[in-house]
Structure 1
Amino acid sequence: MSDNTIASLERELAEFLGADLPEHPAADVHEALQVATLLESKGYAFTLRDLCPKSMSSNWRACFTKDGDEFASEGPESALAVCTAAVAALRNA
């Protein structure tokens, strides 16, 4: 994912979460997990799953669910998967 796309994703998260947004959640899984915690406080359930647990390859699936709706994203970088799924959930809130 390009730096421009990451910056756009983080800007959109900032619009939804304001000052609570960590500095660079799409680049750091620890900060992305803080975003997940913020959404959990808004009533979302969250899962992050390694789709290639016994492989040197990396593929992650992040999923937020609320009221029967599921917002998921998959990708090789866990932080991006979390943030992309979070934006999808917040867009549909």
Structure 2
Amino acid sequence: MSDMAWFTIFSTVCAALAVAIGMMFPAHAMGRTISQALDALARQPEAEKSIIRTLFIGLAMIESLAIYVLVVVLIILFRNPLLEYLVQ
């Protein structure tokens, strides 16, 4: 196999691992956040509006981390800066 084929395979595997790991932690954080919000709602139902508002803001922040991971992986996968050194 050529160097280009190995480089393509390696970068694809690394991108898949980065997406898997980069999505795993925000998903875990979202689950914990929702669990804690439901616990808070069960303890103080009168504070529902503020808890729900804070929950949605927190979930949006957590989801943005997963989106950043996906964007960076796509940039590395399709416009790999190390490819210039391999082609030379």
Q: TM-score, normalised by structure 2?
A: 0.30
Larger Cα-atom Rg: 2
Q: TM-score, normalised by structure 1?
A: 0.28
Would you tell me which structure has more helix in proportion to its own residues? 2
